[in-house]
């Protein structure tokens, strides 16, 4: 099990596709903790949506393969109505961690960001997620006093 922050970033999914996909991501880990009232709340998958709802940050204590590219592609292909083998995966790096872009037929649909890189400690992943948030506050925080 690994405790880490991840982000899903919508590139070109429709709102219906995105909502369905995010719902699948929000279900990650639910089988690992069938009695959530008996575990540390920090272990449970929890999330935060950006103000425009195009980015969602997730945190929890997950199975090592829970966020593997193959699993994400398997969630994605039916939603965007392509075959699994049509999904292309391209890995990259950002200052916050590694990113994987999922595309099909030359169209980028999704970026998945793993904060802190491939095998970070919780502290490394947390620091990267916090920095991402600070660097993009306008995308995440409502105007005060609203």
Site string for other proteins, 14-53 (x = CB under 8 A): ----------------------xxxxxxx-x-xxx-----
Binding residues for other proteins restricted to 47-66, rule: CB under 8 A: 47-48, 57, 59
- Closest approach, Cβ 111 to other proteins, in A, equals 18
- Closest approach, Cβ 25 to other proteins, in A, equals 14
Count, residues near other proteins per rule CB under 8 A? 25
How far apart, in whole angstroms, are the C-alpha atoms of residue 64 and residue 72? Answer: 13
- The Cα-based distances of 76 to 35, 63, 121 in angstroms read 28, 19, 28
CB of 7 or CB of 104, closer to other proteins = 7
145 is a contact residue toward other proteins (CB under 8 A): yes
Specify whether the CB–CB gap between 19 and 8 falls below 8 A: no
Specify whether the CB–CB gap between 47 and 62 falls below 8 A: no
Site string for other proteins, 94-133 (x = CB under 8 A): --------------------------------x--xx--x
**68-85 residues labelled b (16+ CB within 10 A) or e (exposed):** eeeebbebbbebbebeee
Q: What residues line the site for other proteins (CB under 8 A)?
A: 5, 36-42, 44, 46-48, 57, 59, 126, 129-130, 133-134, 137, 141-142, 144-146
């Amino acid at each position: 099990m690994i405790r880490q922050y991840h982000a899903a970033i919508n590139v070109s999914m429709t709102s219906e596709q995105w909502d369905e996909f995010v719902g699948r991501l929000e279900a990650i880990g639910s089988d690992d903790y069938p009695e959530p009232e008996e575990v540390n709340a920090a272990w449970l998958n929890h999330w935060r949506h950006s103000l425009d709802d195009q980015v969602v940050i997730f945190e929890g204590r997950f199975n090592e393969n829970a966020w593997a590219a193959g699993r994400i592609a398997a969630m994605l292909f039916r939603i965007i109505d392509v075959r699994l083998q049509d999904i292309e995966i391209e890995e990259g790096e950002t200052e916050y961690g590694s990113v994987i872009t999922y595309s099909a037929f030359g169209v980028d649909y999704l970026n998945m960001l793993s904060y802190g890189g491939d095998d970070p400690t919780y502290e490394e992943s947390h620091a990267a997620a916090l920095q991402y948030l600070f660097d993009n506050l306008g995308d995440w925080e409502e105007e005060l006093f609203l």
